[in-house]
């Protein structure tokens, strides 16, 4: 890992120029995916744009943006699917964009997702660049782009928006911008339930920072007493005190602000349902969703081995989960910063231990970008020509898979 203390924070045009190769590569991969989707959909007499903007969760977000909350569907088995399960930031942005432009709500959702996916790619690059260097940052963005379910990044879903907020919140933590980190974590908490992973990362980093500051106080005091005493009117003495005090205050504000978004929505749903803090859990139960420690998912995987054809799918799931856990272990061994480990671990645990919608798990894991850093590092060590060849091949396969997937079962 590169020496973070020697890095100079880049802002504005300089930061954009540094990220330009990553963003250009990301745009190329996404265009390839959209072209493949358009060709495949046309061959099946379907609208690629409809698949991106007006199916599954995208319909729920659009309905909330247009009509507000209060819609629910009662299924024959007694389940109640309520729109209160969907967090409000994406619908708010859709409504805002619709109000200031001629775009429809669906068009606004697609536009928000498109812009957010670029912001997410930039945020992933910024984090990986700071931790592992520029080349690894570019490769991290490309690996994220060519994921098999990468087409979701272009859908009117909340994954791209959430990943952008999470990545930039983590970058703010790594660069000691605590108020920004807390504000972005709060917005992430208004985007998806997994926003609590960002809050946990900010809090873990904040607590560690407080502990380190307290541990360093005796050493600082010893150095101060060893030097010639300064008068209380010494400007440098006052400046050191103000700087340290301002940092502590900013960190405290960031930690206090971080959970407000997620807590606000959960409490609002509880008040709306009349169930208090348990109201949101009731809403999720209506969707047969919850956190059971992975019991339901384990049973789902084991059931695949009851017949020969489905046993291959079961074996694939076992291998996939093992690879994810392996990647996390490698992240720990490579000494990723604590907030990245906490965030990725929380996203991984919440996705794998959810009790329903097993087909959605690859999509739910999309924001766990720190898990991709070991792959990005390995890719960055290849010669440029070989690296480009590998990325191009995987991007083509991902584009074809995404087109097939979205025209078939798709992301529920």
Confidence of residue 307 (pLDDT cuts 50, 70, 90): confident
Compute the average pLDDT of residues 1-11. Answer: 45
Confidence of residue 6 (pLDDT cuts 50, 70, 90): very low
pTM: 0.90
Model pLDDT, residue 146:
97
Q: What's the angle, vertex CA 146, arms to CA 142 and CA 148, rounded to 5?
A: 155
Distances (CA, A) of 106 to 50, 88, 277, 311, 394: 9, 15, 32, 39, 30
Query: Is 342 a residue whose pLDDT tops 90?
Result: yes
Confidence of residue 294 (pLDDT cuts 50, 70, 90): confident
What are the counts of helices (DSSP H) followed by strands (DSSP E) for the chain? 18, 2
CB neighbour burial string for 31-59, b if at least 16 within 10 angstroms, e if fewer: ebbbebbeebbeeeeeebeebbbbebbbe
21 in the Ramachandran plot: left (φ > 0), alpha (ψ -120 to 50) or beta? alpha
pLDDT in tens, 346-389: 999 999 888 777 778 889 999 999 999 999 999 999 999 999 99
Name the residue among 281, 92, 266 with its Cα closest to residue 196.
266
How much of the chain, in percent, has pLDDT values that exceed 90? 68
Which range has the worst mean pLDDT, 126-130, 351-355, 396-400?
351-355
Q: Rounded to a whole number, what is the distance in angstroms from the first to the last CA of the chain?
A: 38
Which range has the worst mean pLDDT, 24-28, 122-126, 242-246, 252-256?
242-246
Model pLDDT, residue 55:
86
List the beta bridge partners of residue 74. Answer: 80
Confidence of residue 115 (pLDDT cuts 50, 70, 90): very high
Confidence of residue 186 (pLDDT cuts 50, 70, 90): very high
Distances (CA, A) of 123 to 107, 177, 273, 360, 410: 24, 15, 36, 24, 27
**β-strands 80-82, 72-74 pairing:** antiparallel
Model pLDDT, residue 412:
62
pLDDT in tens, 156-167: 999 999 999 999
Which range has the worst mean pLDDT, 18-27, 36-45, 77-86, 108-117?
77-86
- What one-character-per-residue DSSP string does 214-228 give? HHHHHHHHHHHHHSP
Model pLDDT, residue 225:
54
Confidence of residue 2 (pLDDT cuts 50, 70, 90): very low
pLDDT in tens, 211-245: 888 876 665 555 555 555 554 445 444 444 446 67
Which range has the worst mean pLDDT, 113-117, 168-172, 229-233, 290-294?
229-233
Model pLDDT, residue 223:
57
Query: Is 1 a residue whose pLDDT tops 60?
Result: no
Q: The tokens of 343 are what? A: 């965030």
- What one-character-per-residue DSSP string does 58-118 give? HHHHHHHHHH-S--EEE-TTS-EEEGGGS-SHHHHHHHHHHHHSS--HHHHHHHHHHHHHH
Mean of all residue pLDDT scores within the chain: 88
pLDDT in tens, 13-66: 888 899 999 999 999 999 999 999 999 999 999 999 999 998 889 999 999 999
């Amino acid at each position: 890992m590169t020496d973070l203390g020697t890095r100079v924070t880049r802002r504005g045009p300089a930061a954009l120029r540094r990220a330009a190769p990553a963003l250009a590569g990301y745009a190329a991969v996404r265009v390839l995916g959209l072209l493949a989707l358009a060709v495949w959909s046309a061959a099946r007499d379907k609208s690629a744009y409809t698949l991106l903007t007006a199916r599954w969760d995208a319909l729920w977000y659009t309905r909330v943006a247009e009509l507000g909350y209060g819609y629910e569907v009662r299924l024959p088995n007694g389940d109640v699917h309520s729109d209160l399960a969907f967090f409000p930031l994406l619908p708010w942005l859709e409504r805002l964009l619709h109000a200031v432009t001629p775009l429809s709500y669906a068009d606004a959702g697609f536009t928000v997702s498109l812009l957010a996916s670029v912001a997410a790619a930039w945020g992933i690059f910024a984090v990986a660049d700071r931790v592992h260097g520029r080349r690894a940052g570019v490769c991290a963005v490309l690996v994220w782009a060519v994921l098999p379910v990468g087409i979701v990044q272009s859908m009117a879903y909340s994954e791209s928006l959430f990943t952008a907020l999470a990545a930039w919140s983590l970058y703010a933590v790594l660069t000691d911008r605590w108020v920004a980190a807390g504000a972005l974590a709060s917005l992430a908490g208004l985007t998806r339930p997994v926003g609590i992973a960002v809050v946990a990362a900010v809090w873990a980093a904040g607590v560690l920072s407080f502990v380190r500051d307290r541990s360093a106080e005796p050493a600082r005091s010893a150095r101060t007493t060893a030097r010639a005493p300064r008068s209380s009117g010494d400007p440098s003495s006052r400046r050191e005190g103000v700087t340290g005090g301002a940092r502590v205050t900013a960190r405290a504000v960031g930690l206090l602000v971080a959970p407000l978004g997620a807590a606000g929505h959960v409490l609002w749903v509880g008040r709306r349902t009349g169930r208090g803090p348990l109201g949101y859990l009731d809403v999720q139960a209506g969707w047969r969703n919850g956190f059971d420690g992975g019991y339901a998912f384990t049973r789902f995987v084991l059931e695949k081995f009851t017949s020969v054809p489905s046993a291959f799918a079961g074996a694939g799931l076992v291998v996939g989960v093992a690879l994810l856990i392996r990647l996390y272990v490698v992240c720990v061994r490579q000494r990723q910063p604590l907030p990245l480990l906490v965030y990725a671990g929380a996203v991984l645990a919440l996705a794998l231990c959810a009790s329903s919608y097993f087909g959605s798990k690859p999509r739910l894991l999309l924001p766990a970008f720190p898990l991709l850093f070991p792959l990005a590092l390995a890719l960055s060590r290849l010669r440029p020509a070989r690296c480009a060849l590998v990325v191009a091949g995987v991007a083509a396969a991902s584009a074809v898979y995404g087109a097939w997937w979205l025209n078939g079962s798709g992301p529920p």
